[in-house]
Amino acid sequence: MTDTASDLQLWPGEAYPLGATFDGTGTNFALYTESAEKVELCLFDDDDTETRVELKEVDAYVWHGYLPTVQPGQRYGYRVHGPYEPERGLRHNPAKLLLDPYAKATTGTIDWGQPLHSYNFGDPLSFNEEDSAPHMIKGVVINPFFDWTGDRHPNTPLSESIIYEAHVKGLTQTHPDVPESLRGTYAGLAHPAIIAHLKKIGVTAIELMPVHQFVHDAVLVEKGLRNYWGYNTLGFFAPHAEYAGTGERGQQVQEFKAMVKALHDADIEVILDVVYNHTAEGNHMGPTLSWRGIDNQAYYRLVEGDEQHYMDYTGTGNSLNVSRPHSLQMIMDSLRYWVTEMHVDGFRFDLAATLAREFYEVDKLSTFFELVQQDPVVSQVKLIAEPWDIGPGGYQVGNFPPVWAEWNGKYRDEVRDFWRGEPTALGEFATRLAGSADLYEQSGRRPVASINFVTAHDGFTLRDLVSYNEKHNDANGEDGNDGESHNRSYNYGAEGPTDDPEILQVRARQQRNFLATLLLSQGVPMLLHGDELGRTQRGNNNTYAQDSELSWIDWSSIDQPLIEFTAAVAQLRREHPAFRRKRFFTGSDVRTGDGERLNDIVWLRPDATPMAGDDWQTMEAEKTLGMYLNGNGIPGRGQRGERIVDSHFLIYCNASEEERELTMPPAEYAEAWDVLIDTGATQEREDPLRAGEAATLAPRSFALLRQHAQPVEADFSVAASIAANRASSAPDPDDASATES
């Protein structure tokens, strides 16, 4: 049903801010469209009666009006009249209800089918007049007020950060201590049981996979699947409604804010994985849901000379047009909103190279990066790029501007190859351990520019990385053709679940090797949720459509010793600045503390002689590397101007299948060394290793030693580490013969 607005009082209102803004009395509505001829605001009653209000005030292409009677909870959308000429890039169709690009909340779901499309199936240039409103998600006017009393941004320096990539639902859906009504929600993520786990393993920032309102693709819905990951945005200002614990309209905003406040109270920052490179409307055959019907030319990159079609640098059908001012304004307004109103602490930009394509090539000096650099709000939070897209020249690791950090894909690849024993350049592996100066130093950046990771949502979990040689994606319904085929993984003798104790033991050791390497490398470590407790996806490396037990953490079957190991190594990182330097190594000599002078870092052969010249090539077959960290060689000052001094450390990595005989370095390095971590040890070593003393490094093992002190400091539980090493991998959940850990 449709009514006119004869009984509604409409005031002129304001052109700014865009969107629906409740001021405590009424609501101002403002929508940008340059190509429209008429704009109707559509209000929906509880019985779905639609009332249309024509917005007649237009300033600088912003159509606006103020309704003094409209309160929070009101559902609304727009109908935009104008030319429909797809071949010229104009796609106005007033039969299609359009979601406000600035909607702060949404309600309802999308009912896929012909009515959502502006053309008739089979004829992409035709015009379809079916009303889409009954099948369309709607915007909701929200109450913006929230009691933020006592909230503050933790502002944890990147050098002290441990980032935890997580999914709101996947992290909480099966946790036994989270009430069933809260599982899979923002409130569930803020539950004390979840926060306690994050604190235990040293997490300082949780990086949430997309929580902007997204939709489930039609092709997935037809297969009985869902867009679990959420990289299909329909609302850049609205928290995803399905993650709210209540169905009350607009309540997802309040729940999200309460979650942020609870995490901040625990000194945990909130970073959002954001998708500003494309939208859920797809290519020229996609539905008309929002931007396409509002101003297609302004919001999307169209093929020059063939404006019916879209430029696609993302593999999703379209790319936002970051060369147009109003598209850029929408992105910047969204970023500022999430910082100022929702109190988030940073962003990870999906396929960020697309945002740098002002014209055709990737340009790190593009307008988008200039706006971010100059913005007094956005430039002050954590900015992390996924530095690639699928377009020409899209792999841009190391090339983003100075205020940005980057997912370091080269770190992932080199570390995986080294630990699985593949032929790899020792120098490359060493460079990644030391913070990837080759990628970041020349542009004036520091080790914190490198977000180090071994696994992420896209690919194998850590446990699957050491359990499968091949991907097993049959559940996705794409005949196994989806997902990366070159995973740099190794199953160590059996594909997937096994009860072979030797295979389980090496898999357990390799998980610890990866975790220790990640947490003790220079740069910023990022853990994938569940890697610390042995989560498996049964070999599926592309669970984008698997909103099921396959993707959720199974809290009933966890590897508790692995959790303890992760927590202990994270504690080591937190307490020792030697592992979180703010500047790159220089190779210059500094005092060791005993009057001797050694470089700030020394790469060692197993016989304790420094690596030099051809050693980097001749030692590659040994697959073994030693690393000395000089505790007196840490540049910079503490918060109060004090000099930063730490213990000296030794790291040994043996990726070979053979034992390696080690010789402890001479006394100029240190008189003796305490073993803190040895992933190949089966019993605890109580006595320190003396300078020049022989030792054995087990196959495929990682060892960390600290300069001996009397008494040995009690800041790290060696016993917990060794006990974790003795334990084999948690039983495979698919293995009927396994017992619960």
Q: Where in the sequence numbering do the catalytic residues fall?
A: 350, 386
Q: DSSP characters for 36-67?
A: -SEEEEEEE-TT--EEEEEE-EEETTEEEEEE
Coil vs helix vs strand at 94? coil
Helix (H) or strand (E) holding 515: helix 501-520
Q: DSSP characters for 594-627?
A: SS-EEESEEEE-TTSPBP-TTHHHHTGGGTEEEE
Tokens of 500: 């072979």
Work out the number of other CB atoms within 10 angstroms of the CB of residue 548: 14
Tokens of 255: 């729940």
Q: What are phi and psi of 735, to 5 degrees?
A: -90, 110
Tokens of 550: 């396959």
Coil vs helix vs strand at 238? strand
Cα 686 to Cα 69: distance, rounded to the nearest angstrom: 75
Tokens of 122: 């089979």
Cβ-contact 396, 362 below 8 angstroms: yes
Handedness of CA 218, 220, 221, 222 (dihedral sign): positive
Helix (H) or strand (E) holding 410: helix 409-419
Residues in the chain: 741
Tokens of 235: 């609302």
Q: What region does 37 belong to: left with phi over 0, alpha with psi -120 to 50, or beta?
A: alpha
Cα 674 to Cα 531: distance, rounded to the nearest angstrom: 28
Among residues 16, 101, 94, which one has the least CA distance to residue 59? 16
Alpha helices in 201-247 (DSSP H): 218-222
Cα 82 to Cα 72: distance, rounded to the nearest angstrom: 30
Cα 103 to Cα 118: distance, rounded to the nearest angstrom: 22
Burial class (CB in 10 A: 0-12, 13-18, 19+), 737: exposed
Work out the number of other CB atoms within 10 angstroms of the CB of residue 154: 16
Tokens of 164: 């935890």
Burial class (CB in 10 A: 0-12, 13-18, 19+), 442: exposed
Cα 706 to Cα 318: distance, rounded to the nearest angstrom: 53
SS3 content of the chain, % helix, strand, coil (to 5): 25, 20, 55
